[in-house]
Structure formats: C-alpha cells, structure tokens
Structure 1
Amino acid sequence: MNVPERQDSQAIARIAPAIADIDPAAWDACANPDAATYNPFVSHAFLNALEEAGTVGEARTGWLPQHITVEDYDGAITGCMPCYAKLHSAGEYVFDHSWADAYTRAGGSYYPKLQSAVPFTPVPGRRLLVKPGCTAKHSELLLAAAGIEVTQRLEASSLHLTFLTEPEWRMLGTQGFLQRTDQQFHWHNAGYETFDDFLAQLSSRKRKNIRKERRDALRGGLTIERVAGADISEAHWDAFYKFYLDTGSRKWGRPYLNRKFFSLLGQSMADRCLLIMARRGNDYVAGALNLVGGDCIYGRYWGTTEPHSCLHFEVCYYQAIDYAIEHKLPRVEAGAQGEHKLARGYVPVTTYSAHWIADPGLRRGVERYLVEERRAVAEAGEALAELAPYRRGNDGKAAEPES
C-alpha cells in the first residue's frame, strides 16, 4: 500500500510502510522534542516494538502501517504522523462500528480506512508530530493534507485521528474534519508531598473508604512490589503476561499483544517501564504495567490469576498515585472509561478525535450525530465533575488539608 510522495512549495510528504524505515532520532525529534512532556506511546521505540512483534504490520492484524513524514528540501524530517490502513475497527477505543454498519447497509465499503492512533491503547497525545519552530503550523497542515491524500489514493472511506490534543482538534475542525469528544478519568497532582496529603482533600467518607480499600487489598498476606528499568527480568514479563492474557481473554476475547512485544518493550524502553506486582511469598498473583512519561504515569494493562477484593484499585490506581506523588509527576492516566475511578480521586477530562469522511452522504449523517453526541458528553462531564470526592471551600476550590 505504498503511496507516492506528495510535494508542495516548501516540503515533501512521504509514506513509510514500516516505522523501521524512518530514522529513530528524526522521528523522536518530532514526537518528543521536550523531555518534560515526553509521551512514550508516540516514541519510535514503542511503535517499532508493536511492528517488530507482529502485533501490527501483518495482514492478519488489520493494522497496516502507512506512516506519514514531512521533509524539507534538505531532506530533514520536520513532521510525522503515526498512521495505519485499517481493515476493521478493533483496538481503537473510539467506536465507529455504527458508522461502518450504516455505510455497509447503504452499499458502501467502510474498510479500508486510515487511522492515526497508537494501536491498542486509548492514550491522549499529539498525532501531528512536528518539530518546534516557525514552520510547525505549516507542517501540521501538510500532515493533515497528506493524510487526506493517502486516504483518497488508497480509496479508503475515511481518515480518523483519535485521542489527539485539543489544539490539534480545533485546527483540524477549521480544515473540514468532523469533531468528536469523549471522556476519560485522570488523576491530577496538586503538589502533594504524601498520599495522606491527597486524602486530606477528600470528603471524610471517601477518605475512609480509600484507606479501607488499601487495607483490604493486601489481606491474605499479599505485598506490593515495584519493578522498573533494568530490574525487570524475562521472568517478570512471563508472570505479567499471564495476567494480561487473563484480562484480555475476558474483556475482548483475544488479547491484542503477544509475549514478544513485552520483551521488546523491556529491551528498548526499560527506563520507561514500571511493573507494579502483587505477590504472596515467592509467587506473583497480579500485576499492572505502567509507562512513565515526562509529566505523567500511564497505567495500561492489568490482570490477576486470583480474585482479591480491592486489589485492582490498589495495584492500578493507588500505587500509581503514590508513584506520581513520589516522583512529582502532574498526572496519572489510567486508560479508558471507568466511572468507578471517580470515587478514587480521578476526575473526568475530555478526549478528542477528528474525522474526515469521503462520502458526502455518510459525512452529513455522522456530522448530525456528532452535534448531539458532543452535547451529551459535555453534560455528562459537568454532572460527573459535581460528584468528584474532593472537599470544596466556599470559592469552589479545594479546601486546605485538615489538621
């Protein structure tokens, strides 16, 4: 599915059928130019691990890389966009199955479509990855235009950029992309020194409930172990992969990632990996994988081989909060959905996606639907924010910690 290069008066856009074809340093200079806001999921190493493991890139996966780069006339890459020709809508977390069904019933072919995303994880972040500088806006526009041209040359139905940033979303809206919103629940660090400082901001009932959950989680002789960086061995990955398989099999029938991926992740990104494991004696019984960014800890995959009350909350939520406080990280992101996170200090935030649809009829129908959906998402967010467990002062801000 190679597409010829695209040129304009200032730059050249190219398509790479494998991220290994793109220089890692050049990609990362666009994806993560600032260490303080480093996002591991758009790094060359993470995306390459997905392809090298065979979780994307082979026809059977339905994720065929079509990564877009923008070069200046000296051949230097000034922008890039992770992109895939998709043969289905699995592993995306922004659901368009109803759009596909409606278009199929009308006699159209929804697949292939073009998707700019991080496969298999609903992680927010930039999708139009451009190097900082005076031509950054031009590179963003060229990436978007190149994405539309690739969509047309592939005779795909549509182009979707999911979990992108709000500024990108707004810019693409001015370029004719349809705008969609949704919600996740994130935890925000208000400069806490300890976990108790965080608890002091909660209502008394919520504070007591969290303390009880943390005690209950470790009943039966369980202890928590954090393993990071070079300390993560293949034995750790073996144990964690069993947990991942259990959750994946129950949630969506077939886990997306294979065992090889986690070894590759550990080899190429050990300094960004954090395993939070629960053990009894010498045996691991549960675990969660986190990736550590410049300003956020991202909790992604969790599983257990034994049922334990509240253990999921401890391993996935409270330990991540502890880590963020200890390392002065501003945020914890724990994946999609989950209103149960609200009672544990996570608050609703808006997520964004942008969609270019070739067929005018399908576009009109989706556009009408999105107007109502955005309104519903906004109203739900406002209602959920009112249910946040934090104590409020008269001015609506968090109250001072209790003595």
Structure 2
Amino acid sequence: MPIRTLPHLDQLSPDAWDALLPEPQPFLRHAFLSALEDSGSVGGRSGWQASHRLLCAADGTPLAALPAYVKAHSYGEYVFDMGWADACHRAGIAYYPKLLGAVPFSPVTGARLLGDQHACAQLLDELVAELPAQGLSSLHINFTEAQADALLDGREGWLQRIGCQYHWFNRGYRDFQDFLDAFTSRKRKQVRKECDQVAGHGIEFRWQQGGELDELEWDFVYACYANTYHQRGRAPYLTRAFFSLLAERMPEAIRVVTARQGSRPVAMAFSLVDGETFYGRYWGCLGDFDRLHFETCFYQGLELAIGAGLQRFDAGAQGEHKLIRGFEPVITRSWHYLLHPGLRAAVAAFLEEETAGVLAYAEEARSLLPYRQGGD
C-alpha cells in the first residue's frame, strides 16, 4: 500500500483527516494543524516543514497517518534532544534533518499514529525503511498515548524516553472551594492569600469562547502571548494570524480569560477544551501584578473546569510551582528511532539512567502536593 507525503494538510479534506482521529482532542484536528500551516507558524524559515505521512489503500483511501514535520532544529518540541544533536556535531554525525511526529509547540499527550492499528504498524515500518533514502537521521514521535506506546514497545530499534508533567484531576469537586477544602490548612490559606492579592489590585476576570472575540481583542491576546517570549529574549513561535484562523475554524474549542483592571485589559490566558479536558496553553501580561499569573492561568481555569464538569486540567510542560496548587506529576512518553548505531547505543545508555531519575523525581514530587492525608 502506498505512502503519501503531504507537504500541506490542505491536500487532504478535513473530513478525511478527522475520520482517522480516535478522540476529539483539538490539537489533532485538521483545523488546528492547518491553521499552523496557513498562518506561517510552521513552514518557511521556521525550521518546521510539514511532511505528514499517510498509508493509503489502493483506491487512495487513508488507512493510517502520522502528523509529521521535517525538522532543522529541536525548538518547540518540549522533548529536549539538543544534547544528542550536540554530541553528533562533535562526532561529525549529521543529526538534522530529522522526522518528527508531533503537534508543533504543544507538549500534549495524545494520539500520534492515527487510524487502523495494523495499518499504523505498517506505516511505522515503511517510514523507518525510508529514512536513509530521504536523508533523515532519525524518526521521533513525541507525547504518545497508550495505544501508540503498546505498538512501539519492544519494536526493534525504538527507544522510549519518559518525562514528567503536572495535571489536575477532578475528583467530583462541587466548586472551587470544595477543591480547596481538600488541601491542608496551610496550603489552602496560601491560595486564598494569592487570590486576595490579585483582588486587591482591582482585577476582575472575563471568560469568552473563540467566536466571541473581535479582532482587536485577538490583537490583545497576541500581544500578551508574544510579550511572554520577548521577556525571555526569544521570538514567539506562533504568528498573529494563527489566532484568527483558529477562531474561525474551531471557535467552540477555544477559551480565553482576560484579566481587567477597571476597563483596561492587562493579562490573558488562552486555553482549549474537549469533552473531558481543559488544556491551558498560553499566558501573557502587559503589566506587573504580583500573583496574577497563578490566578489567571490556574485558579480561573480550575473554576471553569469544575463548573463545566471537565475531568482533567493539562497545564503543559515544566513548572514545579503547579504541584503546590494541586497539579499532580504525570509521566509522559516519547519514542526515538536513531539510524546511527553508535548514537543509538549511547542514547540507550543515557535513557536508562535518565528514566530512573525521572521516576524518582515524580515519586518525590508527590510529597509536595497540598492535599490532606487523613487530617488537616
């Protein structure tokens, strides 16, 4: 069965792509991935060249797919392999270009191998076989879910890498106060103090869905988002056009909370939702307000998630400060096929040691959670 390479997702209809998805997660939808391409957030000089792979039946019907990109660097992936690339450079081994199965700039676990599992297995084998002829050093698949893990586990040549994120789980909370009541007294008072500090600045919050924002409001959202990167001396990954395109193509999945001081907007948090999960994505502030980040990014999102009956809050990569606010350590997985046998052996040895460290860290992190253990 032939493999097609799509340098742009608009070469396949939204219905045909979305029919392969096993779940309604917004990041996998044609609307999200095509908005990245059409807005110039990927492609061009970004170092992300769309190269989606389809395994098709003889009549051209897609049976399996991998959302994929040829990468000229390792930025925006959140599975950090720069050290592997540096080692290759010192040894005179070409690490780039590489092929990456992922959602750009989105460290969110979800389906990556889409469609029939037998066809997905064939697609994997074909992609590995094609790497040398295509001048690619490796194939990487980031933030996989259980079905892909089962398919890749034990497959010859594939190396598993784990990481740790922080997610919140809804244990039947009636409201935000009910959630806080599960904390120890000291941790509960800390959260209340943070909320009071923000209220003391005269800050109020307004939630909107994607279709409710006008272009001036999207200008503000983007200014906040870009400012977060500029403060770190970096260029933002996403373009301004991405937000407008996404609002046009999947407005029902977008949630934006704006922090206002009087009539003046000062900060925002941009998130996505599906039927079960709240995905906190981007934040930014155009002023200096103590503790506003925690209220805007976490407490407001928790209130919305509880009120909407959502079961999980995925707050993205990194950030140990999430632990004391009730976000629990969760293990993430990625998979790596490296053509160079010496590099593969070195990385395998590194991963064995790293895995033990990550698992130990995740266990230790649980001791920092704020929840009561049988008493207050």
TM-score range, shorter chain: over 0.9
Q: Aligned pair 1:112/2:97, yes or no?
A: yes
Q: Give the Cα–Cα distance (whole angstroms) in 2 for the partners of residues 281 and 143 of structure 1.
A: 55
Q: Aligned pair 1:57/2:37, yes or no?
A: no
**Superimposed CA distance per residue, residues 159-199 of structure 1 (whole angstroms, 9 cap, x where no aligned partner):** 11011114422421321210000000001001111111111
Q: What letter corresponds to residue 149 of structure 1 in structure 2?
A: A
1:241 Cα deviation from its structure 2 partner: 0.9
TM-score (norm 2): 0.97
Q: Aligned pair 1:164/2:144, yes or no?
A: yes
Equivalent residue runs for 1:246-265 within 5 Å = 246-251=227-232, 253-265=234-246
* Structure 2 contact 210–256 (Cα < 8 Å) conserved: no
1:150 Cα deviation from its structure 2 partner: 4.0
1:239 Cα deviation from its structure 2 partner: 0.7
Q: Give the Cα–Cα distance (whole angstroms) in 1 for the partners of residues 240 and 267 of structure 2.
A: 17
* Structure 1 contact 166–352 (Cα < 8 Å) conserved: no
Q: Give the Cα–Cα distance (whole angstroms) in 2 for the partners of residues 220 and 123 of structure 1.
A: 33
Q: What letter corresponds to residue 205 of structure 2 in structure 1?
A: I
Q: Aligned pair 1:295/2:276, yes or no?
A: yes
3-state DSSP of counterpart to 2:174: coil
Equivalent residue runs for 1:142-221 within 5 Å = 142-176=122-156, 177-221=158-202
Higher mean C-alpha displacement, 362-371 vs 290-299: 290-299
* Structure 2 contact 96–136 (Cα < 8 Å) conserved: yes
**Superimposed CA distance per residue, residues 291-311 of structure 1 (whole angstroms, 9 cap, x where no aligned partner):** 112211101110101111111
TM-score (norm 1): 0.90
Runs of 4+ aligned residues of structure 1 deviating over 3 Å after TM superposition are none
Q: Give the Cα–Cα distance (whole angstroms) in 2 for the partners of residues 248 and 364 of structure 1.
A: 36
**Superimposed CA distance per residue, residues 43-87 of structure 1 (whole angstroms, 9 cap, x where no aligned partner):** 1000000000111122x1111111011223343222211000001
Counterpart for residue 22 of structure 1: 12
1:139 Cα deviation from its structure 2 partner: 1.9
* Structure 2 contact 160–334 (Cα < 8 Å) conserved: yes
* Structure 1 contact 218–311 (Cα < 8 Å) conserved: no
Counterpart for residue 315 of structure 1: 296
Q: Give the Cα–Cα distance (whole angstroms) in 1 for the partners of residues 5 and 216 of structure 2.
A: 38
User: Where do 5+ consecutive residues of structure 2 fail to align?
Assistant: none
Equivalent residue runs for 1:312-351 within 5 Å = 312-351=293-332
**Superimposed CA distance per residue, residues 311-350 of structure 1 (whole angstroms, 9 cap, x where no aligned partner):** 1001100111111101111100111100000010101000
**Superimposed CA distance per residue, residues 87-111 of structure 1 (whole angstroms, 9 cap, x where no aligned partner):** 1111111111110011111111110
How many percent of aligned residue pairs carry the same amino acid?
43
Equivalent residue pairs, number? 375
| 2:251 alignment partner, one of 246, 270, 276 | 270
Q: Give the Cα–Cα distance (whole angstroms) in 1 for the partners of residues 3 and 275 of structure 2.
A: 29
* Structure 1 contact 18–51 (Cα < 8 Å) conserved: yes
Q: Give the Cα–Cα distance (whole angstroms) in 1 for the partners of residues 51 and 241 of structure 2.
A: 23
Q: What letter corresponds to residue 61 of structure 1 in structure 2?
A: S
Cα gap change, 1:52/1:293 in structure 2, threshold over 3 Å: closer, same or farther? same
Q: What is the CA RMSD across the aligned residues, in angstroms? A: 1.4
Counterpart for residue 41 of structure 1: 27
| 1:73 alignment partner, one of 29, 41, 58 | 58
**Superimposed CA distance per residue, residues 114-171 of structure 1 (whole angstroms, 9 cap, x where no aligned partner):** 01111112111111111xxxxx320221232233234333211111101111442242
Counterpart for residue 362 of structure 2: 381
User: Where do 5+ consecutive residues of structure 1 fail to align?
Assistant: 1-6, 131-135, 394-398
Counterpart for residue 91 of structure 1: 76
3-state DSSP of counterpart to 1:89: coil
Counterpart for residue 4 of structure 1: none
1:250 Cα deviation from its structure 2 partner: 2.2
